[in-house]
Structure formats: C-alpha cells, structure tokens
Structure 1
C-alpha cells in the first residue's frame, strides 16, 4: 500500500484527486494540507510514502516544504504539482529533492502513474515541460532591482499597499513602478502582470 499526503490550497482539487484514488487498491490518502507549514507537520506525524505538493501555497511554499521534508525524511518521495509549465520551478523542485513534477492540468491517470513511479524510487518529471535553463531571458535585464523586488512580491500575492509597507516606500511609488513594469514588458493590465509575476516568481528569488 502506497500511503500519500496531498498538499494543495484549493480544497476542490484535493477532493477531486481523492475521489479518483478511492478506486486504486494500492494507494491510500492518509492526510491533506492546505499550506506548507501544515504539510510539514502532517508529514512529521504520519510519515507517508509519497507527498504530492503544490509549489505555491500560503505560509511555506512547496519548494521550501520539500527541502524540510527531504532533510528530515530522505526516504519520503515528493511530487511537485503546478499550474504553470515553468522549467525553472521544476528545476527548483529537483534541487529541493523532489522525485517528480506534474502539471495540474494533467490527467488524473498521470497523477496515479506519478505516484506509483516515485513510490518505486524512480523519477517522474512531466515531459511536456521543456527545460529553458540554457535560454537567456531579457526580463531581468529590462527590470531594475527595485522592479524585480516588486514583481517577486506581486507573485507572492501582495497588494500595492502591502508592497509599500514591506519595501518602506510610498504606495504611489509602487503604483508608478507597476506602470513602468507593464510598459517595459509590453503587457497590459493587472491580470497579465499577476500572471507574469506568478509564472516568473522563482526566477527572481
């Protein structure tokens, strides 16, 4: 029996995975968590065979949680779970010790396959994610150090008011930086900026 814990801040997604896994005789969900801190504590308590974790969660992200889990329990296999096909995030999960990485839009059959594969101490990384480690990115060159800080904080879900408090600058200054970022990257509106910030969050750490 493969004992697993699922960590994801959207409960509906956890429920969907659990529903499918109920029909798998060799897999048992023994716990679930909605943030990274709760995941680490649950792993310490129940010590599963496999952990499936979102890479973006409140309190402690999946990459940081994976580092903690693998340092304390090297035998536990971790699979990263992401909505973005971002090679950099996948590389970060590999470095943290994850044995697998799959997309949230993958079929649930692929989720099951990933669980069984890593449980056998094998690797399972989504082949649809093309490594861009050797490609040069121009965003870091275009953006100033302050603008990169703001993009990173936007990617963490911070509002302009929160960013102004964190960086000890006026909210109007943050808003000006946001306008400049939009212009430099040739993207339009808050939604596109948030998507860019989330997708590139781990490039700016």
Structure 2
C-alpha cells in the first residue's frame, strides 16, 4: 500500500485526487492539507510513504516543507506537483530532496505513474521539464512520463506567441523579465518537442500555424 500525504492550497484539486484514488486498493490518501506548515505536522503524525506537495503555498512553501521532511524522515519520498516549469523552481525542489516533478496540467494518469515510480525509489520527471535536467541525473534510474500529444508549458506558449511577432530572444527576455539564456533554452525545448530542425522552422511554425494561445 502506498500511503500519501498531500499539500495543495486549491481544495478542488485535493478533492479530485482523493476521489480518483478512493477505491484504489494500492494507493491511499491518508491526509491532505493546504499549506506547508500543516504538511510537516501531518507527515510527522502519520509518516506516509509518499508526500505530494505544491510549491507555492501559504505559511510555508513546498520547498521549505520538503527540506524539513527529508531531514526528519529521509525514507519518505517527495513528489512535487505544481504549475511552475521554470528551471530554478525545479532545481530548488530537487535540491530540497524531491525525487519527482510533475506539472498539474499533465493529468491524473500521469500522476498515477509518478506516484508508483517515486514510491519505488525511482526518479520521475514530467516530460515537459525532463530534458532540462537529464544531464544531472544521467547515472540515476530516471523515468520520464510519456504523453500522446505535444504539450507546451505556459511559458513556452508565451514565448512562442512573441516569436510569432518577430521578437528576438533578447527582446522576449526583456518582455518577460527573464534571462536570454532561459529564452534560448525554451526555444531548444520547443524545437525538440515539435520535432523541428532549427529556429527558422520554429518561427515558421509559430506564424504559419497561427498558434492559439
């Protein structure tokens, strides 16, 4: 049995996950809270096999909560489930001790795969963030979720929209208040995801397909 403690400040999402696993014989949500501070208390009380936590939450964020949980209970696995796809957020969660990173828009079936993988001691990455970190985890047992269709992150959609207007990476970086290198990384990831050959094809894709944002 995989016992799970969950922290998420949107109660509707908690209710949806609990409902999905309500009749599952192998997975049990034994507690759910809305902030990191209460998550630490819940984990100390019930000591689940796995923790699922958002990053941005009131009173204590998921990064700090993960650090505390892993320092007290190093055997407990942590899976981050969030909307943040920025490399900085992913790195902070992994450095805190999480061994799984999942985007909320990936769906419940992807969540199930992540739960099983992380609880078995494997490292699981959402397919839309995995390739930013593969070099750091090349020697580990890494599982990358698979998706049937191309799913661009919210940030990638923003950048693609700006590419369609003819802006350079530097101009996009200025508009979004991020580093140019971050924009370049997103460009490379989109080229890979969309199975394109180069940046010119990415520009053509953005314009010709009239991407719906």
The residue matched to 1:105 in structure 2 has which SS?
Answer: helix
- Counterpart residue number, 1:14: 14
Shift of 1:47: 0.3
Cα deviation code 1:2-27 (max 9, x no counterpart): 10011000000000111111132100
- Counterpart residue number, 1:124: 124
Shift of 1:132: 7.8
Where does the alignment leave 5 or more consecutive residues of structure 1 unmatched? 135-183, 188-192, 201-205
Mapping of residues 1-205 of structure 1, within 5 Å: 1-129=1-129, 130-131=131-132, 185-186=174-175
Cα deviation code 1:45-102 (max 9, x no counterpart): 0000000000110011000000000000000000011112222211111100101010
Where does the alignment leave 5 or more consecutive residues of structure 2 unmatched? 136-172, 183-213
Runs of 4+ in 1 over 6 A off after TM superposition: none
Q: Distance in 1 between matches of 2:133 and 2:51?
A: 26
Q: Distance in 1 between matches of 2:133 and 2:175?
A: 21
Cα deviation code 1:145-203 (max 9, x no counterpart): xxxxxxxxxxxxxxxxxxxxxxxxxxxxxxxxxxxxxxx9336xxxxx8xx8xxx9xxx
What root-mean-square deviation, in Å, do the aligned CA atoms of Structure 1 and Structure 2 show? Answer: 2.2
TM-score, structure 2 as length reference: 0.62
Q: Distance in 2 between matches of 1:23 and 1:110?
A: 18
- 124 and 132 in structure 1: CA distance in 2 versus 1, 3 angstrom threshold: closer
TM-score, structure 1 as length reference: 0.64
